[in-house]
């Protein structure tokens, strides 16, 4: 079977996008996705994203297979790439069109902006331990500035779900973190029964955060949109930052706002790289 694809990236977090509108299930298996994401023997990507038919009144459904074959609930950079992909598929001439996208994390609403970026209504953060999920505290408690022992060191962590789990810790120098060594130990820590994404954050001011991320199922990536949103929430809860801030990632910057309607709004770029068939 020949499959056409388009490669996109959001701040260097790169994805293979597949038009899957003719079927309600992904036309690529998780095992095949692993091979496609291989950067030496495949196309190379952090994940494969499928555009499926919408359900329950939504315009489309988005599903993702990570580079290790696992399926995350959502992906912030992926949803921006998804929105650009759909605009290209539809031949949209409306620079500010909005779409309702069904994901495993709920309905997400991306909107193309007049300057070519994508603004995404990411919904409300989930803060209770049972929602993340984690066993760091009791089920109905919030995880704010809790101690967690990883790699022989005690870290102060705050946990947030954006439909997927995030563990955020604030550090003095984010560049000094041995990400490849410590990241997997956070991801697979027994207090996170579904594993976790981990963000290491340096708050340089009340409205500017520097971030490095270890993504569940993908490892070290250049950007993570849900992680940027979760990190802003953690920063507000921990008293480290304001409700609107720039989050600097290795691949570039995102503008994040935790609005007074309690929703997170993420604005950033998404770029088409190339198209092909396999």
CA dihedral 109, 192, 142, 201 (to 10 degrees): -70
Could you tell me which residues come within 8 angstroms of residue 215 by beta carbon, excluding any fewer than 6 positions away? 46, 66, 197, 221, 224, 227
Q: What is the DSSP string of 86-143?
A: HHHHHT---TT-B--EEETTEEEEEEE-TTS-EEEEEE--B-BGGGTT-SSS-TTSB-
- Catalytic center residues: 75, 224
* Bridge partners, 157 (sequence order): 146, 169
Structure tokens at 248: 């600097």
Residue 86 vs residues 29, 44, 109, 239, 277: alpha-carbon distances, Å: 22, 21, 13, 38, 18
- Give dist(CA 187, CA 64) in Å, integer: 19
Closest by CA to 204, choosing from 161, 178, 158, 170, is 170
- Give dist(CA 269, CA 112) in Å, integer: 10
Closest by CA to 169, choosing from 141, 197, 140, is 197
What is the residue whose two structure tokens read 């198209």?
A: 275
- Give dist(CA 120, CA 147) in Å, integer: 32
């Amino acid at each position: 079977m020949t499959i056409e694809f388009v490669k996109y990236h959001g701040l260097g977090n790169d994805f293979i996008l597949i038009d899957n509108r003719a079927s309600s299930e992904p036309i690529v298996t998780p095992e095949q996705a692993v091979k496609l994401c291989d950067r030496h023997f495949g196309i190379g990507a952090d994940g494969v994203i499928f555009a499926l038919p919408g359900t329950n009144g939504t315009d489309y459904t988005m599903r993702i297979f990570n580079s290790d074959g696992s399926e995350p609930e959502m992906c912030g950079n992926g949803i921006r790439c998804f929105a650009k992909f759909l605009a290209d598929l539809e031949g949209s001439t409306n620079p500010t069109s909005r779409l309702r996208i069904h994901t495993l994390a709920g309905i997400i609403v991306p909107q193309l902006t007049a300057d070519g970026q994508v603004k995404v209504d990411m919904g409300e953060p989930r803060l209770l331990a049972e929602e993340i999920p984690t066993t760091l505290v009791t089920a109905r408690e919030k995880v704010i500035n809790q101690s967690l022992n990883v790699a022989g060191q005690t870290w102060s962590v705050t946990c947030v779900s954006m439909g997927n789990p995030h563990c955020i810790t604030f550090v003095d120098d984010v560049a000094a973190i041995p990400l490849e060594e410590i990241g997997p130990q956070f991801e697979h820590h027994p207090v996170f029964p579904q594993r976790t994404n981990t963000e290491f954050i340096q708050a340089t001011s009340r409205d500017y955060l520097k971030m490095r991320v270890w993504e569940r199922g993908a490892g070290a990536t250049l950007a993570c949109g849900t992680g940027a949103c979760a990190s802003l929430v953690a920063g507000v809860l921990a008293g480290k930052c304001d409700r609107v801030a720039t989050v600097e990632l290795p691949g570039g910057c995102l503008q994040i706002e935790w609005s007074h309607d309690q929703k997170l709004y993420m604005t950033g770029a998404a770029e088409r790289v190339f198209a092909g068939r396999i």
